[in-house]
Amino acid sequence: MSLAEIQEVPTSNLILLTGTPGVGKTTFCHQVVLNALVTDKPIIYVTTEHGPAEVIGLLRERGMGESLPNALSFIDAFGETVGVTTPERPDTVNANCEDLNSISMAIAKVQEKIGRRDIFLAFDSLTSPYLFNEKEVFRFMRLCLAKFASEGNSVLALMDEGCGKEEDLGAMMSVADGILRMEAKDGSRIVNVVKHPKIRPTRIEVPIESERVGLLARIIDPGVLREVLRATMAGGETVLRREVGDFVNLFWPNFAHWSGMLWDPKRFPMMTYELNKEDGASIREIIPFFPWHLRLFIKLFMPKSFSKVKDMKKKWETLERRRPKERTGIMEYLASISKTDEHYFRLYESSDCWGFENVGTAMASYLPPTMFAGMIKGFEYWQGLERDWNAIETKCIGLGDPYCEIKLVPGEIDELRGSLEKDSSVIERIHEKLMHRLTGFLLDGKPLVERPRLGSDVNIHVVYHAMAFPALAGERYRMALRMGGAKSGSEVGKRLIEAGIKEDEAIKRVIDFMNYCKVGKVTVDETIRIKENCESQTKLWTTKIKEPSCFFTTGFLNGLFSAVKNQHVREVRCIAAGDPYCEWEIT
């Protein structure tokens, strides 16, 4: 049995392709599309995670000719959902992931235009519609997709595992005529034929290349970095944002982080950990910009290795005194329980975890990889020793503990992946806690979050890690931030309307909330404008790609306006693109 044989979807059948995010389902789908093009079969491609242009680019990379075949039509359920403008195309009908009826109508419209049967429908993917309408997707599959297949067409629908309830995925499988399940193991992609109208259950294995996650797209301005280091180490608080200051309410980055996590609960936390660790290790590249006396101190008194307890204790206390004041937590080295190459730290009022008591999981995503594993790795590298470090929470507020504790060791930690990866039910519980706090603030003026000693704010550097850094890891994570923002904005809007708040008042309350959080200086008139927006890359660092980059904020605003006023927004100016502020038009 070859891979090509299962990449042919039989007529009058609905095949469901499942697997964890990033395992290769879209690549499989693209090959099925290319195979269908060879046979001159009309194709309807429903895209919910990219615009049609991105799909066309990927198809061309995999062998489709430059001239787009007339047989290929698109339903774009991505752009309108997240507030991204996609070029108007005669072969494309727009829809919205929030409204399954709009997708059904779009499929019927394109089908009528084609005017024949034996159409191949690729639905990539059901995950976003499910996360917006989980109670309706089973009905949509039965009344739209399965019905479409039964009329003499063929359908391949993709669905991520781990992004929803297992019983919901089981219900979807019950509708399908065939089930393919993909997984990645030991550098290979495995396709399991669980059920198929023409093929007996089998297993096919093909090699894959591992995904590279890194900060290569980041460009740091040396002059601004020196200014930031001088100010923060001296206790200064305003360097990058002169009007609103360099601190943001910690609710906002946590809101963005956990909204994005809904779309990729397995890979998103691992990606975040590795990216944050890499940033922490980049201290080796930042040390040359430290004040001369601090560079001399590091050179003369920093140990080559941080293995021994006495060295870690002495140097950590020194580093903690000189560490920029980010208000991320109150840290203490636990020398009494630490030993050679196994160090423990206690963390009070962690900005990652505060407000998430007893949610059933360890919460920290920023401090363990960045300030512990990454930074220690970077300091050792500066002293000529190259070895990897890792950090894991052994206690956490999210697990019901009164504080957080972190274990730091060189080398691998077997339990690390299990600690970071999340079950979708846990993420939904965290998301609901955030939504409860936010609606309480918007409706009754209840506090968002407040720590006894450190207060509610964290440095904008923490915001970069939650919102800007994931966007450097690839389109999958940019999509997760966009869709997470759209879902959260829509949910906020619907809750305000259901509570009896009028449309204009609902918008005003959310804008006031954003200003309260110090997201930036937010104003709404004919457009939405945010000066000094915390999500957009500031003058400290930029990226090689100069384009609008406020992925979560755009999704959030679009979801809000869609739910409250049936309007859509798109970002037309952005600090990241060289503009003086970020701006969104309302249509």
Residue pLDDT tens, the chain, 587 long: 567 788 889 999 999 999 998 888 999 999 999 988 877 789 999 999 989 999 998 888 888 876 566 789 999 999 999 998 777 888 899 999 999 999 999 999 999 999 988 999 999 999 999 999 998 999 999 999 999 999 999 999 999 998 888 999 999 999 999 999 999 887 788 999 999 998 899 998 877 655 555 665 566 666 666 666 665 555 555 677 889 988 999 999 999 999 999 888 888 888 889 989 988 888 777 777 776 666 776 666 778 899 999 989 887 776 666 555 789 999 999 999 999 999 999 999 999 999 999 999 999 999 999 989 998 999 888 888 999 999 999 999 999 999 999 999 999 999 999 999 998 889 999 999 999 999 999 999 999 999 999 999 998 888 888 888 777 777 778 888 999 999 999 999 999 999 999 999 999 999 999 999 999 999 999 999 999 999 986 555 566 667 788 999 999 999 999 999 999 999 999 988 889 999 999 99
Give the residue range(s) of CATH 3.30.1380.20 domains in the chain. 225-265+422-587
DSSP code of 288?
G
Distance CA 356, CA 449 (A): 10
Q: What is the DSSP string of 152-207?
A: T-EEEEEEETTSS-HHHHHHHHHH-SEEEEEEEETTEEEEEEEE-SSS-SEEEEEE
Range(s) for CATH 3.40.50.300 in the chain? 3-207
Instruction: Give the span between the Cα atoms of 422 and 45, in whole angstroms.
Output: 31
Indicate the CATH number for domain 3-207: 3.40.50.300
Instruction: Report which secondary-structure segment, H or E, holds 333.
Output: strand 330-333
- At 453 the pLDDT is 95
* CATH number, span 225-265+422-587: 3.30.1380.20
pLDDT at 267: 83
Task: Show Cβ contacts of residue 504 under 8 Å, excluding neighbours closer than 6 positions.
Answer: none
Beta bridge partners of 569: 586
**Per-residue model confidence (pLDDT) at position 266:** 83
pTM of the model: 0.87
Q: Taking a C-beta distance cutoff of 8 angstroms, is the pair 469, 280 a contact?
A: no
Least Cα distance to 490 among 85, 100, 127, 132 occurs for: 132
Residue with tokens 């297993």: 203
